Amino acid sequence: MFSPENPVGKSGDLETLKIQLGLKCNYSCSYCSQASFTESDVKTGVGDVQQFISDLDKWVTTAPKRIEFWGGEPLLYWRRIEALIPLLVNKWPAAELSIVTNGSLLTEDKVDVIISNGINIAISRRPGTVHAWRRPLRQAGRS
């Protein structure tokens, strides 16, 4: 596990801040590169968001250009995303926010939040897999 005490040699002067919300996913793709990782024993939740934002100052020394939410499947952690968005926008208003998702858990409400905050979404999919036939934006009435 990476931490301020074990930073794997990376600098705090970064362009993209990747926030891994957790490793849980509602799919179990055979090619998943994260399947071999196990969740930390440390359990976190929405109540830890403010502390996380404060602790970022220990890790990040310049304003990132981009902030990406990752999982597992990040939309499983939607309440945390909703809590993080205003705090991150307040902290780094020029940063571009993105969510990398399999798209299957998008709903009208989530799409509204994504659009109103100008968040990019990148939907992971491979032709012929379950991702390909799910059309989350269409399901959410936005395509």
In angstroms, the CA 27 to CA 40 distance is 19
Tell which positions 124-143 bind ligand SF4, by CB under 6 A: 124
Alpha helices (H) along 22-127: 49-59, 78-91, 108-116
Contact call for residue 25 and ligand SF4 (CB under 6 A): yes
Contact call for residue 30 and ligand SF4 (CB under 6 A): no
Phi, psi angles (nearest 5°) of residue 10: -90, 155
Question: Which lies closer to ligand SF4 via its Cβ, residue 9 or residue 31?
Answer: 31
Tell which positions 46-65 bind ligand SF4, by CB under 6 A: none
Tell which positions 92-121 bind ligand SF4, by CB under 6 A: 102
60-89 core/surface letters (b: 16 or more CB in 10 A; e: else): beeebeebbbbbbbbbbbbebbebbbeebb
6, 28, 38, 90: residue in contact with ligand SF4 (rule CB under 6 A): 28
> Taking contact as CB under 6 A, which single stretch among the options 11-19, 66-74, 86-94, 108-116 is the one that binds ligand SF4?
66-74
Residues that bind ligand SF4 (CB under 6 A): 25, 27-29, 32, 34, 71-73, 102, 124
